[in-house]
């Protein structure tokens, strides 16, 4: 049912016919001149699609996540950071007390990582890559989202849309507190 609702929403917003969508868990298409990739989990290749976009980043990755425990995504982000891509991450306050959060790992590795405690839940799941790619959807950046949950992921290549998401990301960063690089040691997570 969730897949149908998401598909119906996409069809409505972008004015496309359902006959043009393949009946798979991942699809590539163009929506009003905006190249898009759509993935559904479990096991729909969402993590792989995210890692592929991170691997292709040239200058910047801005991420905002409710939950962040995916080792594959964290590893790809670290590789991007090491090759000179500017990476910054905003996480929900639940990551402060989580038994494991990749936010601890990224902060320890020198990637600016912030906690947004300004809201009951900072529930966004987005990445803005090179100010032209937006990754969004219900998909948490977790192993469970890929393997167990019914989730959706949308990757859109559109500079105007990325600009809108960038403005929102900056507003959330201004309400966030940076995780010191040593905080993971105090909590005993590493």
Q: Which residues are known to be catalytic?
A: 123, 125, 130
Q: Cα–Cα distance between 75 and 87 in angstroms, integer? A: 13
Q: Cα–Cα distance between 43 and 25 in angstroms, integer? A: 8
From residue 123, give the alpha-carbon distance in Å to each of 9, 87, 153. Answer: 20, 20, 15
Strand partners, 104: none
- Give the pair of three-digit tokens for residue 88: 């910054």
Residue 146's SS3 state is helix
Residue pair 169/128 in contact by the 8 Å Cβ criterion? yes
DSSP string, 47-98: HHHHHHHHHT-SSEEEEEES-B--HHHHHHHHHHHHTT-EEEEEEETHHHH-
From residue 178, give the alpha-carbon distance in Å to each of 70, 79, 165. Answer: 21, 21, 20
């Amino acid at each position: 049912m969730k897949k149908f609702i998401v598909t119906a929403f996409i069809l409505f917003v972008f004015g496309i016919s359902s006959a043009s969508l393949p009946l798979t868990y991942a699809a590539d298409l163009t929506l009003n001149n905006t190249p898009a990739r759509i993935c559904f989990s479990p096991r729909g290749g969402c993590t792989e699609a995210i890692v592929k976009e991170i691997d292709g980043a040239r200058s910047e990755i801005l991420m905002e996540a409710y939950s962040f425990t995916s080792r594959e995504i964290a590893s790809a982000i670290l590789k991007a950071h090491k090759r000179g891509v500017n990476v910054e991450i905003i996480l929900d306050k639940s990551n402060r007390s989580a038994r494991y959060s990749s936010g601890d790992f990224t902060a320890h590795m020198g990637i600016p990582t912030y906690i947004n405690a300004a809201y009951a839940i900072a529930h966004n799941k987005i990445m803005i890559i090179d100010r032209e790619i937006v990754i969004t959807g219900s998909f948490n950046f977790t192993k469970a989202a890929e393997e167990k949950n019914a989730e959706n992921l949308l990757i859109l290549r559109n500079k105007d849309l990325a600009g809108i998401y960038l403005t929102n990301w900056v507003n959330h960063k201004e309400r966030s507190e940076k995780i010191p690089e040593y905080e993971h040691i105090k909590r005993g997570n590493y």
